[in-house]
Amino acid sequence: MTPSLFTLISPKWRTSRTRLRQGRATGGRGKIVVLAVVGLLFWLMVFGVLYRVLAYFRGVEEIGPLLAGKLLGLALLSFLSILLLSNVVTALSSFFLARDLDLLVSAPVDWLDLYLAKLGETLLHSSWMVALMAVPIFAAYGVVYDGGLLFPVVVIAVFFPLLMLPAVVGSATTLILVNVFPARRTRDLLSVITIAAAGILVLLFRLIRPEQLARPEGFRNLLDFITILRAPTSPFLPSEWAARSVMGYLVGSWAWLDIALLWSTAGAFVVVGAVLHQRLYPVGFTKAQEGAERFVRGWFWQAALAPVGRFLSVAKREFIVKDIKLFFRDATQWSQLILLGVLVVIYLFNIRALPLFTGEQVPFFFVTLVSFLNLGLAGFVLAAIAARFIFPAVSLEGRQMWLLRSSPLDLRALLWSKYWTGTVPLLVLALIITVFTNVLLKATPFMMAVGIGTILLLTLAIAALALGFGALYPQFDTENAAQIPTSFGGLVFMMTTVALLAVIIVLEASPVYAYLQATRNDEPLRVLTPQFLLPLAGVLLICLLATALPLRIGLARMEEFEF
Amino acid sequence: MIRLEGLTKRFGTFTAVNGIDLHVPRGELFGFLGPNGAGKTTTLRMIAGILRPTAGRVVLGGVDLIADPMKAKAILGFIPDRPFIYEKLTGGEFLRFVAALYGQDGDVVEHRIGELLEVFELSQWRDELVEAYSHGMRQKLIISSALVHRPELIVVDEPMVGLDPKGARLLKDLFRAFTARGGTVLMSTHTMEVAEAMCDRIAIIQNGEIAARGTMAELRQQTASGDASLEDLFLRLTGGSAARELAAILEG
């Protein structure tokens, strides 16, 4: 007798159940509460914004439902594209690289059961976040348009096939790719494509300047937009079928054909996917076992860092070289730099797009204020980057800790290397952001000096906080570095950093205000006053403490690690 | 060379290692045997400084591991049973990195890396990323990494796993040569033939305690086993009924 589909998926849900129980037993309740609160706040925010927009749409005659439907169609289309990309990547793990595959493939498991079990796994792993994100969106539609008790059922009936379609297409794409390239190469290729696609999308969205629609001079565009609204959209897009089904139910005209289209297409796709799986999977799985040969000389970094390395101990030097090599050889890591580049371009673009220098003379007060508050924003951007690149540093050493702990390596050297490998690029980035934005804002030399000084201190502190929290909340079981910042520890790090930024901004407000007053009254700036010096001393002290303490605590925690 | 005094490790209420006393002198190849879950790996990981003992002392070359870990670890080479290594480094880079952890670099290290890779037949893979290595090749690389800094003692957990007969023979010869030159090896293994043929002395650990120790002759004497093989001695000391039960299950 061959094992049933239920037998195949039972280890997964049993594992999740046990993990949940263990988490509760080991004091994970606090984590769950914090995550639930943050999630709920996010839901409320999305719901609130959409509720206002939809309530406004509902008040607009004729084009109101059209706009609401279009908005839903756009949201679902974005979901569909995100899901397609994420399913392609997830399918590679679940169908070809997962650790349970040797067991499943060697057992007398029916190919269809294996396909369905792995398809379900892929769907669940790649879609849960999108499904959660969709809850407040549909809730807002249901509330504004009085969807009633049946509305959640309609949403589920519409949303499930919509999730199924990209899962099948994504899995099939991966299946074909693996039959062409080795699995490891495919993974590298996919991560670069995914990140680049996401980066380009974000960049394009920003560069078309959607805020212009909100301006009076943008009305001509709005009229164009209405014309576009009335034009028929692609009849082949499942997101359009889903949007029409939901809006049809809400405005009282059931779109049965669209629901039928969704389900029949999903069903047909599963059948086609299963046939492809039956034909291509055995060959693809075999190819996935083959290692991709990669010969590397690796002299570049050794030579590039030689001048600096001369002043360091052997262990510190080799640690830095090792970390840099690992980063640039892992496509899932270096490809994040593409997003980072996009982020910086958008940041500078946003500053440049500020309507400060259009038309008449802008008050000096506003320029100084923006330049000052920009510090907090730059700090937040740096914190997000540190969360992605520095926070996982300790976790990523977890599997090799046997080597580090059995050698006479001083953990301080390890922490030192990790700190500076992360801090130096962060400092360069921080200075680029601050100097460029201040130049764009035409900030005064005083504000430039305050900006540079503060961002230097903040970067040192943010990097130390990231490393310290990374050691306090290590994720040794996670192989994917990109998942580590989204852990509970990553959240605590971000919250702490935001608190630090707030304190620094509040403290520095006093000397900046004194400077503004002095300039407005045409008086010389009196530097040697308690109002000016004490807050700056406070900033210095807090930043130094926020640098030293996390590193010290992180080191103490690392000394306790047992493997 | 290795001295354990009352070494104990508890995980919550479970005692994995219970007050072990052991002395392995310089130049000895010492075998550490025991059934699964007996506490072998936990003991070896405490000796390597990866696990902190709940009680007791580990002294390596006269240096207390807790009091002066850097000095104690400098003379140690550790080969774990399930080693993870940096997948995106090449074999050569990995060995250079390990040497650096022991504060060694330069031409001497490069020469030694070349020698080790040659001995373990990995020279042609020197510039290939570890992610493409087979299990056996990884095991050879790990063994090379434990030797690259010229240790005085080697602690090794299941060294033969994944090695082909040629590699296993090479390792045996290497350990013999190492101890003949005054080095010390503490080896845990499940391969009784290897332990019987190679080890000067053997300890059998069960439920976190040493059940018997000594040379083969001493073990036979302690268990009044005549000229029994090590496998028979092992089963007698650790309870061999499970093997008979298993045979019954397979037959049934």
Query: H or E element: which one contains B155?
Result: strand B153-157
Q: A423-454 b/e with 16+ CB inside 10 Å = b?
A: bebbbebbeebbeebbebbebbebbbebbebb
| Residue A248 or residue A531, greater confidence | A248
Amino acid letter for position A446 = F
> Is residue A399 domain-shared with residue A544, that is, in the same domain?
yes
- Which chain A residue shows the shortest CA-CA distance from B47? A406
ipTM above threshold 0.90: no
Q: For position B235, what pLDDT does the model report? A: 78
Q: How far apart are CA A304 and CA B80, in angstroms?
A: 34
- In the A/B pair of chains, how many CB contacts fall below 8 A? 102
A183-207 vs A63-91: helix crossing angle, rounded to 10: 160
Q: How far apart are CA A298 and CA A272, in angstroms?
A: 45
Residue B55 contacts residue B227 (beta carbons within 8 Å): no
Q: How far apart are CA A526 and CA A449, in angstroms?
A: 16
Q: Does a structural domain hold residue A345? A: yes
Report the pLDDT averaged over residues A309-317: 83
Of A553, A539, A536, the residue nearest A492 (C-alpha): A553
What tokens does A102 get? 């040797």
What tokens does A137 get? 């969106």
Q: Does a structural domain hold residue A31? A: no
Amino acid letter for position B172 = K
Report the pLDDT averaged over residues A369-375: 84
Give burial (CB, 10 Å; 0-12/13-18/19+) of A225: middle
Written as one string, the DSSP assignment of A397-421 is GGGGHHHHHHTT--HHHHHHHHHHH
Q: For position A298, what pLDDT does the model report? A: 67
Strands B63-64 and B76-79: unpaired
A296 to B128: CB separation less than 8 angstroms, yes or no:
yes
Is residue A214 predicted with pLDDT exceeding 50? Answer: no
Give me the sheet containing B14-24, strands edge to edge.
B14-24, B2-11, B55-60, B63-64
Bridge partners (DSSP) listed for residue A121: none
- Which chain B residue shows the shortest CA-CA distance from A297? B127
- Which chain B residue shows the shortest CA-CA distance from A560? B52
Identify which of B88, B96, B145 has the shortest CB distance to residue A329: B88
Q: What is the pTM of this model?
A: 0.73
Percent of chain A with pLDDT over 70: 88
Coil vs helix vs strand at A22: helix
Q: Does a structural domain hold residue A49? A: no
- Which chain A residue shows the shortest CA-CA distance from B101? A315
Half-sphere exposure of A109 (CA within 13 A, CB side): 23
Using 50, 70 and 90 to split pLDDT, how confident is the model at A216? Answer: very low
> Is residue A83 domain-shared with residue A175, that is, in the same domain?
yes
Residues of B in contact with A294 (CB under 8 A): 128-129, 131-132
What domains can be seen in chain B, in order of their start residue?
27-51+154-252 (3.40.50.300), 76-151 (no CATH)
Using 50, 70 and 90 to split pLDDT, how confident is the model at A209? Answer: low
Q: Domain residues for A168? A: 57-127+153-288
A402 to B78: CB separation less than 8 angstroms, yes or no:
yes
pLDDT in tens, A230-240: 555 677 889 98
> Is residue A389 domain-shared with residue A496, that is, in the same domain?
yes
A563 to B83: CB separation less than 8 angstroms, yes or no:
no
A286-289, long-range: CB within 8 Å, 24+ apart, which pairs? A287/A178, A287/A179, A287/A182, A287/A183, A288/A96, A288/A97, A288/A178, A288/A182, A288/A183
Report the pLDDT averaged over residues A47-63: 84
> Is residue A110 domain-shared with residue A189, that is, in the same domain?
yes
- B110 and chain A: CB distance < 8 Å anywhere? no
B230-238 vs B216-223: helix crossing angle, rounded to 10: 40
Using 50, 70 and 90 to split pLDDT, how confident is the model at A12? Answer: confident
A562 to B78: CB separation less than 8 angstroms, yes or no:
no
> Is residue A237 domain-shared with residue A381, that is, in the same domain?
no
> Is residue A233 domain-shared with residue A84, that is, in the same domain?
yes
Percent of chain A with pLDDT over 90: 30
Half-sphere exposure of A501 (CA within 13 A, CB side): 22
Is residue A302 predicted with pLDDT exceeding 60? Answer: yes
Q: Does a structural domain hold residue A6? A: no
Strands B2-11 and B209-214: unpaired
> Is residue A455 domain-shared with residue A512, that is, in the same domain?
yes
Report the pLDDT averaged over residues A486-494: 87
> Is residue A208 domain-shared with residue A340, that is, in the same domain?
no
Of B150, B153, B91, B94, the residue nearest B122 (C-alpha): B91
pLDDT in tens, A121-178: 999 988 888 899 899 999 999 999 988 889 999 999 999 999 999 999 999 998 988 8
Is residue A359 predicted with pLDDT exceeding 60? Answer: no
> Is residue A221 domain-shared with residue A164, that is, in the same domain?
yes
Amino acid letter for position A208 = I
Half-sphere exposure of A326 (CA within 13 A, CB side): 21
Q: Does a structural domain hold residue A302? A: no
Identify which of B74, B128, B145 has the shortest CB distance to residue A294: B128
Bridge partners (DSSP) listed for residue A384: none
Residues 6+ apart with CB under 8 A from A171: A87, A91, A95, A118, A119, A122, A273, A277
Residue A400 contacts residue A532 (beta carbons within 8 Å): no
Is residue A183 predicted with pLDDT exceeding 70? Answer: no
Residue B59 contacts residue B65 (beta carbons within 8 Å): yes
A403 to B76: CB separation less than 8 angstroms, yes or no:
no
A563 to B50: CB separation less than 8 angstroms, yes or no:
yes
Interface test with B, best of A316, A325, A403 (most B CBs within 10 A): A403
B129 to A403: CB separation less than 8 angstroms, yes or no:
no
Give me the sheet containing B201-206, strands edge to edge.
B76-79, B153-157, B184-188, B29-33, B201-206, B209-214
- B162 and chain A: CB distance < 8 Å anywhere? no
Is residue A219 predicted with pLDDT exceeding 50? Answer: no
Q: For position A353, what pLDDT does the model report? A: 74
Q: Does a structural domain hold residue A443? A: yes
Coil vs helix vs strand at B79: strand
- B243 and chain A: CB distance < 8 Å anywhere? no
Written as one string, the DSSP assignment of A235-301 is TT-HHHHHHHHHHHHHTT---HHHHHHHHHHHHHHHHHHHHHHHHHHHHHHHHHHSPPP-B---HHH
Which alpha helices (DSSP H) does A400-487 contain, by range? 401-406, 411-440, 445-472
Residue B113 contacts residue B99 (beta carbons within 8 Å): yes
Q: How far apart are CA A385 and CA A391, in angstroms?
A: 9
Last residue of a domain, one of A224, A256, A288: A288
Query: Based on the structure, what is the number of domains in chain A?
Result: 2
B128 to A313: CB separation less than 8 angstroms, yes or no:
no
Interface test with A, best of B9, B17, B50, B155 (most A CBs within 10 A): B50
Q: How far apart are CA A374 and CA A354, in angstroms?
A: 12
Q: How far apart are CA A453 and CA A431, in angstroms?
A: 10
Identify which of A317, A326, A399 has the shortest CB distance to residue B84: A399
Interface test with A, best of B2, B41, B63, B88 (most A CBs within 10 A): B88
Last residue of a domain, one of A288, A308, A343: A288
Give burial (CB, 10 Å; 0-12/13-18/19+) of A153: exposed
Q: For position A186, what pLDDT does the model report? A: 72
Give chain A's contact residues with B (Cβ, < 8 Å): 184, 291-298, 313-315, 317-319, 322, 325-326, 329-330, 399-410, 560, 562-563
Q: Does a structural domain hold residue A143? A: no
Is residue A217 predicted with pLDDT exceeding 80? Answer: no
Is residue A332 predicted with pLDDT exceeding 80? Answer: no
Q: How far apart are CA A28 and CA A33, in angstroms?
A: 9
Q: Does a structural domain hold residue A259? A: yes
Mean pLDDT (chain A, rounded): 83
Is residue A221 predicted with pLDDT exceeding 60? Answer: no
Is residue A484 predicted with pLDDT exceeding 90? Answer: no
Amino acid letter for position A563 = F
Q: How far apart are CA A38 and CA A33, in angstroms?
A: 9
Coil vs helix vs strand at B62: coil
Q: How far apart are CA B43 and CA B20, in angstroms?
A: 9
pLDDT in tens, A374-399: 888 889 889 988 998 899 999 988 88
Query: H or E element: which one contains B31?
Result: strand B29-33
Residue A173 contacts residue A88 (beta carbons within 8 Å): yes
Last residue of a domain, one of A288, A318, A352: A288
A184 to B97: CB separation less than 8 angstroms, yes or no:
no
A294 to B132: CB separation less than 8 angstroms, yes or no:
yes
DSSP summary character for residue B133: -
- B189 and chain A: CB distance < 8 Å anywhere? no
Minimum mean pLDDT range among A219-223, A455-459, A540-544, B29-33: A219-223
Q: How far apart are CA B144 and CA B96, in angstroms?
A: 11
Of B9, B87, B92, B96, the residue nearest B44 (C-alpha): B9
Distance set, CA A276 to CA A104, A167, A321, A352, B125 (Å): 19, 14, 44, 51, 37
- B67 and chain A: CB distance < 8 Å anywhere? no
Strands B14-24 and B2-11: antiparallel
Residues of B in contact with A319 (CB under 8 A): 97, 100
Report the pLDDT averaged over residues A69-97: 85
What tokens does A487 get? 């852990």
- B201 and chain A: CB distance < 8 Å anywhere? no
Residue that has been written with the tokens 């059961």 in this structure: A113
Which alpha helices (DSSP H) does A26-62 contain, by range? 29-59
B49 to A404: CB separation less than 8 angstroms, yes or no:
no
pLDDT digits (tens), chain B, 252 positions: 899 999 999 988 889 999 999 999 999 999 998 888 889 999 999 999 888 899 999 999 999 998 998 899 999 999 988 788 888 899 999 999 999 989 888 899 999 999 999 999 999 999 998 988 888 899 899 999 999 999 999 999 988 877 888 888 888 899 999 999 999 999 998 888 888 888 899 998 988 999 888 888 888 877 777 777 777 777 777 776 566 666 666 765
